[in-house]
Structure 1
Amino acid sequence: MSHHHHATPATALTRREWLARSGLGLAGALGAGTLANLTLATKSAHAADYKALVCIFLYGGNDGLNTIVPTDTARHNQYKGVRGGIHVPVASLLPLGGTSYGLHPALSGLSKAWSDGQLAPVFNVGTLYKPLTKAQFRAEPASSDLLPDNLYSHSDQQNLWQTATADALTRTGWGGRASVTLAAGNPVISVGGNARFGLSETQSPLVLPETPGDTFGAQNLAANSARKKAIDALYAEAQSQDLGTAFTAAQRNAFSVSDRLGAIVATKPGQNTAFAAIDTAFAPVLDANKRPTTAIARQLYQIAKLVVSNATATGPRQIFFAQMDGFDTHGGQAVADTPMDGAHPRLLKALGDALGAFQAAMVATGYGNAVTSFTQSDFGRTFTPNNSSGTDHAWGNQHLVVGGAVKGGTTYGTYPSLTLGGPDDVGVDSWELQGRWIPTTSVDQYAATLLGWFGATDAQLLQLLPNLQNFATKKLGFV
């Protein structure tokens, strides 16, 4: 498999540069005084039905087989026999009480979410057009409509997860489509760059900086202010064509949201008592200077402030996008004797600590039941390790859903049979017995469960998720 890193599309940078130069991205013209005046009640007067979805995309393909591991003796021995030097010893796992599974010890930040019944693991989820047996998979040519486009390819599988379609060229994401249908015109807000997930036919995601206080060139206040006036004047003029009218309306809307969100996004930990409860919850992931220690902690801190400021920011429904890079662990992934060492444990620790802090912040501010966070990723990793103490590209994968509305304390979906060449493994011949699992749950069912909680009717789900009609079970019940 070729080893290439996910890169943020160039458009994100161009947009950022453009926003910086015009001083618009985050109301660059906001003076420091505005921050001091920003007072938001911690228990905001949010609409009784406020709900937010937070997508965390793990770029590169997270190794779900080391993320959630069976703890019963028979299956753990089977797992250890195949995983060898990169397995997680059973004594190191964090037991998911009441189930025969454990979390990787690096995810200790999510232990409280589990004990509070606010964490649901979902097993063997992947890109599917319709339910697929091993016999069907073996009988289909690679070009078949029954198989997802370009299995095991980072970019194609990222697109299929983000678009929830069978076609990797689909332009719109399921978050973007849902935001148009359900979020009353609020665009998806991304603190993780531009992504397909947030695109709809009519709007792009609103891309905000991941780092608190990063207002893209706010230092040129006078120049930015003059540019802003000129551009406002330009967009206020009547347009002779419908496209021009639509474009200027979209720009005016973006600026107005930007003006409302600028002070919120710029606020750093410790700067505003309105966010004191969030700051306390995030304390485990802040350094001595009160700065979030990882990119995912910075992103989730931004989202936490936007959630509790929803009266200012967005309205009763909002979809957020955050992301982590680096999960393409072809080498140096893990060390069985010291399970906290290696590339994968470091990534899981960043994720677990930040997501645990975020969930604690939601509970502390009264938003625990109103916000549901969930992971997505390109694909799972091979069950068989490669010769570099790493794993290669596979298919079905385990995912995590966190929130007060989550029906935790149990697991969802079907954990793959850990037999190389078994019913879930695409392989038959000895050379291909690597444990690439055919998914038993589809991205569509996973998305439908989340969107059903978010407010989509059954009819809207079928419209938003074109493959959902092919699955007898539409929603998985984890939320």
Structure 2
Amino acid sequence: MKRRSFLQTIASVSAISPLIINGFNVKAFEPTNLFTLAGAIDCDDRVLVLIQLNGGNDGLNTIIPVDQYSQYYAARTSIAVPENTIIKLSDTTGINPEMTGMKSLFDQGKLKVLHSVGYPTPNYSHFRSTDIWLSGSDTEEYFNTGVMGRYLDYRFPGYPSTYPNASMSDPLAIQIGSVLSTGFEGPHANMAMAFTDPTSFYNIVNEKDITDTSSRSGLELAYIRKVGEQLNNFAKPVKNAALKVPKNVSSLYPAHTFNTPNPLSEQLKIVARLIAGGLKTKIYMVNLSGFDTHSSTTNVGFGVNVNHANLLKQLSTAITAFMDDCKLLGIQDKVLGMTFSEFGRRIKSNGTGTDHGAAGPVFLFGNSVIPGFLGTNPIIPDNVSSEDNIPMQTDFRSLYSSLLTQWFCVPQKDIPTVTLHNYANNLPILQGISNSVKHESLNPLSLQLSLFPNPILHQSQLQIQTVYPIADIVLYDRTGKLMSTISGYIPEGNHTLLFERVGLSAGQYYLQARLINGYTQSIIVNIQ
């Protein structure tokens, strides 16, 4: 029996009978099945905080295209945010009125909005799409490791057998909660630890004392005990870090009560204390559930129902308080945060909510972000069907690659080793990073597209005016699925391409051009 298979078997047994190790509540831990669930700061001192929005966040009610409000309202009248309540981030884009804290971060230059982040052929299953986001796979391929797990294995080779050690005495990653994320799955073991607070520590070991290691199963059990001893050693620096910062200092954290819960704030409180306490952990992952908003309200547990706007308020309040805490604790420059969700929602409402969709917005927050936007508002057609989705503008694998290169200083040549792909890693997201194109200088006139005739019967001419090189031009259908690549690299200047409808059924499509730094421009293509 392979060690991985053996660990899975042991974990399924130990889940039946919780154990206690040195006062810590043990959770069954295994190499989890992916289907079940910048600047002045030294690279080694940087911390990434990932916030997972479980359920599929409704991006159009989070970041609102005010320049297309009439189309937006027509598509989702029953759930549309009233126009007079939207908080404007720019002349064309607004944010949900419950997210006042994140508007403040945006104004301070500490928030970046990435439009329409996703992948080319969306999958609408919660489990599979979460798997894709955490593993970094394509839709039709399956990885049994996670992106962050592979990075940590690259950064700390030999884990877990040689850890903790003098160079890394702390947990490599921490998951707040009782379930370890598959995103931390490494080639040999999950690279993270999970716990709810510094005195309730979750680890991966069966406590049973092993006396016979002569058999193969005995050797496997000895291995498990060894890992357990290592993780008990990891518990000490966690507790020490928490004791150094006995309480949070920000007054912006909300009261957490049964009637007004904010579980994300409670998780981020722990993260802030551990970072400020000197823990060298590289990545933290926290989560906020309830975003599967098929109806206007969703149950988040304990009989508590909240609507989407309330979830966004919890998100905004928690991030704002966490950022304030980091500033007061003197750790703000070493922390970068990112939100993500397994998919977005459909453009058109189903009457009381929205169904599973494709791409959606991602927030980056911290002192190191290049503030503003990456990408443009998604196009909302005049006549929206229940199948209409938001196509991807930025591939989330490019975002991962850019974070690894720009935040964790992974050499470009090593990116394919970590991501198992070779996606662009030059997205303009962090300050102090050299990019061939400065996003701040871009405006709608930097890239212009026109198609004539449109609608198209057989073929049409695509006119392109660009002041920067184009990485590619692609075509998506109404569901957000990538149909074809029209062109690869195109230098700056004026160009004309022949567009033919070969193999395309009648209907509406999105043609999207992407500059080499990730800026995109899209137009609607009508095929007769």
Same structural fold, with TM-score higher than 0.5 when normalized by the shorter chain: yes
* Counterpart position of 1:164: 136
Post-superposition CA distance 1:57-89 (Å, at most 9, x none) = 1111000111101233xx122212212121112
* Counterpart position of 1:404: 367
Q: Distance in 2 between matches of 1:324 and 1:355?
A: 12
Match of 2:287 among 323, 334, 340: 323
* Counterpart position of 1:224: none
Contact 1:11/1:194 (CA < 8 Å) preserved in 2? no
Contact 2:114/2:361 (CA < 8 Å) preserved in 1? yes
* Counterpart position of 2:167: none
Q: CA deviation at 1:21?
A: 2.4
Q: Distance in 1 between matches of 2:100 and 2:71?
A: 24
* Counterpart position of 2:516: none
Residues 361/328 of structure 1: CA separation in 2 closer, same or farther (3 Å cut): same
* Counterpart position of 1:476: 427
Post-superposition CA distance 1:381-401 (Å, at most 9, x none) = 0010003x1000111111111
- 1:118 to 2:106 alignment: no
Aligned counterparts, 1:199-210, within 5 A: 199-210=185-196
* Counterpart position of 2:50: 55
SS in 1 for 2:149: helix
SS in 2 for 1:157: helix
Unmatched segments (≥5 aa) in structure 2: 1-7, 27-40, 160-170, 299-304, 431-528
Q: Distance in 2 between matches of 1:118 and 1:18?
A: 46
Q: CA deviation at 1:251?
A: 2.5
Match of 1:261 among 229, 232, 238: 238
Q: Distance in 2 between matches of 1:463 and 1:302?
A: 32
Q: Distance in 1 between matches of 2:395 and 2:47?
A: 22
* Counterpart position of 1:220: none
* Counterpart position of 2:381: 419
Residues 182/94 of structure 1: CA separation in 2 closer, same or farther (3 Å cut): farther
- 1:391 to 2:354 alignment: yes
- 1:91 to 2:84 alignment: yes
Post-superposition CA distance 1:397-432 (Å, at most 9, x none) = 111111111111x100233211167xxxxxxxx8x5
Aligned counterparts, 1:315-464, within 5 A: 315=280, 318-333=282-297, 343-387=307-351, 389-408=352-371, 410-419=372-381, 433-452=386-405, 453-464=407-418
Q: Distance in 1 between matches of 2:427 and 2:11?
A: 34
Match of 1:127 among 119, 127, 136: 119
Residues 346/12 of structure 1: CA separation in 2 closer, same or farther (3 Å cut): farther
SS in 2 for 1:162: helix
SS in 1 for 2:245: helix
Post-superposition CA distance 1:75-130 (Å, at most 9, x none) = 1222122121211123212222x5521111111222332122110010111123xx
Q: CA deviation at 1:26?
A: 6.9
Q: Return the index of the structure with the highest Cα Rg.
A: 2
* Counterpart position of 2:66: 71
Q: CA deviation at 1:238?
A: 11
Unmatched segments (≥5 aa) in structure 1: 1-8, 28-45, 129-146, 217-226, 266-271, 335-340, 422-429
Residues 273/463 of structure 1: CA separation in 2 closer, same or farther (3 Å cut): closer
Residues 162/326 of structure 1: CA separation in 2 closer, same or farther (3 Å cut): same
Match of 2:245 among 274, 279, 299: 274
Post-superposition CA distance 1:434-469 (Å, at most 9, x none) = 421221211101111221212211112222122334
* Counterpart position of 1:175: 148
Q: CA deviation at 1:250?
A: 2.8
Residues 468/284 of structure 1: CA separation in 2 closer, same or farther (3 Å cut): same
Aligned positions, number = 385
Q: Distance in 1 between matches of 2:175 and 2:398?
A: 23
Contact 2:56/2:342 (CA < 8 Å) preserved in 1? yes
Q: CA deviation at 1:205?
A: 4.3
Residues 437/288 of structure 1: CA separation in 2 closer, same or farther (3 Å cut): closer
- 1:300 to 2:251 alignment: no
SS in 2 for 1:468: coil
* Counterpart position of 2:174: 189
Q: CA deviation at 1:234?
A: 6.8
Contact 1:120/1:406 (CA < 8 Å) preserved in 2? yes
Q: Distance in 2 between matches of 1:47 and 1:382?
A: 42
Contact 2:180/2:194 (CA < 8 Å) preserved in 1? no
Residues 54/251 of structure 1: CA separation in 2 closer, same or farther (3 Å cut): same
SS in 1 for 2:250: helix
Q: CA deviation at 1:369?
A: 1.7
Residues 52/208 of structure 1: CA separation in 2 closer, same or farther (3 Å cut): same
Calculate the TM-score normalised by the size of structure 2. Answer: 0.64
* 2:419 alignment partner AA: L
Identity %: 22
Q: CA deviation at 1:246?
A: 5.3
Post-superposition CA distance 1:263-288 (Å, at most 9, x none) = 656xxxxxx68345xx2315432358
* 1:252 alignment partner AA: E
Greater alpha carbon shift after TM alignment, 237-246 vs 175-184: 237-246
Residues 413/87 of structure 1: CA separation in 2 closer, same or farther (3 Å cut): same
- 1:155 to 2:127 alignment: yes
SS in 1 for 2:249: helix
Q: Distance in 1 between matches of 2:105 and 2:294?
A: 30
Calculate the TM-score normalised by the size of structure 1. Answer: 0.71
SS in 1 for 2:327: helix
Contact 2:249/2:329 (CA < 8 Å) preserved in 1? no
